[in-house]
Amino acid sequence: MDRDEYRELFGDDDDDDDNSDNDDLFDNGGSRDNIPAAPSSDALVLRDPSVPGLALLPHFISPTDQARVSFGLHEHVGGSLTAGVRNQSMHFGLPLPPWIADIAASIHAHFQSLDPPRDPAHLFDQLIMNGYAPGDGIVPHVDLVRFADGVAVLSLDAPLVMDVTRVPPGDQQAERAYAGERLGPVDSVELFGTKTDDVPPVATDDEIAELVAAGPWTHWVTHDWARVLLVPGSLLVLEGDARWRWAHGIRFATEDWWPMLSGEWRLVPRRPRSSITFRKLIPDE
């Protein structure tokens, strides 16, 4: 994705469930020995104090709702976002399309269930629908200040790993992020301290199904860099520091390195995936 495509996707500042089960989102470091075995639960909400405001709901919508939303997305854009020239579509304003309005309402209900509840006027009125073919990615970025605090990303179709990296204070990266600037690609030469000749075996379909059902969902590479597994039906929520002081991006790759519950590493092949990002546009004064 080049700069013009990036600005088309994210814009430019110069332009005019009661979820009571909360577990730690991340393990305590980059060691392969510290990978947690996260339980699988439809009500599971995973958090970690190291990234305040980041929450992962691995099973936010059911497989039936996933199929319905995927079909609605396909009809809305007139085809697949991963098979043609166009890989993104945007929607501004209320009402939202009927095939996604109930999901947006469920996300809003999640925000209202938090302590303290979020602003009841915070109704999502902007959608970004993205398609990712194997090899696609997106540069690490912080969403623009024209969008309110509280961003939610619904993942569909296939698992994929997102990188979450701290924006260092005092070096103006946050300011560049607010202006839509690129923060640079994620360094993937030695992920997890592993040399390129230590490539793990490719995950089987059964192993991928186990991963989607039960995790593990996250892995810390350094104290400033975490990786989050976005499985189909999951919801990633970014607010507060996670929204403003941590960048999120997707590595340009055809596979992802990921640990299994057993602690063994696998290459998880990328498959066509789509996502829907929900945001609230701040009105002009």
**For the segment 210-263, what is each residue's pLDDT rounded down to a tens digit?**
999 999 998 888 888 889 999 999 999 999 999 998 999 999 889 998 989 888
Find, among 222, 212, 213, 224, the residue nearest to 256 by Cα: 212
Is residue 285 in some structural domain?
no
Neighbours of 213 (CB within 10 A): 12
Which residue has better confidence, 205 or 2? 205
Three-state SS at 214:
helix
> Is 186 part of a structural domain of the chain?
yes
pLDDT at 34: 32
The CATH code of the domain that includes 181 is 2.60.120.590
Entry pTM: 0.78
pLDDT tens-digit readout, 172-185: 444 444 343 333 33
Supply the pLDDT for residue 170.
53
Contact residues for 95 (Cβ-Cβ < 8 A; gap 6+)? 101
244, 230 contact by CB (below 8 A)? no
Residue 128 lies in a domain: yes
- The pLDDT mean for the chain works out to 76
Band of the pLDDT at 87, cuts 50, 70, 90? confident
Q: Is residue 276 over pLDDT 90?
A: yes
pLDDT at position 23, please?
46
When divided into structural domains, the chain yields a total of 1
The pLDDT tens digits for 156-165 are 999 999 999 8
pLDDT at 11: 45
| Chain center to CA of 70 | 17
Instruction: Say if residue 131's pLDDT is above 70.
Output: yes
Mean pLDDT of the region 164-171: 74
In a domain, 284, yes or no: no
Please give the average per-residue pLDDT across 102-110, as a whole number. 90
Tell me the average pLDDT across 20-39: 36
Alpha-helical runs (H) found in the chain: 3-10, 63-77, 98-113, 173-178, 205-214, 241-244
108 domain residue, yes or no: yes
| pLDDT of amino acid 208 | 94
Phi, psi of 135 (to 5 degrees): 100, -20
43 in a structural domain = yes
Name the residue range of residue 145's domain.
3-279
- The DSSP bridge pattern shows strands 88-92 and 126-132 to be antiparallel
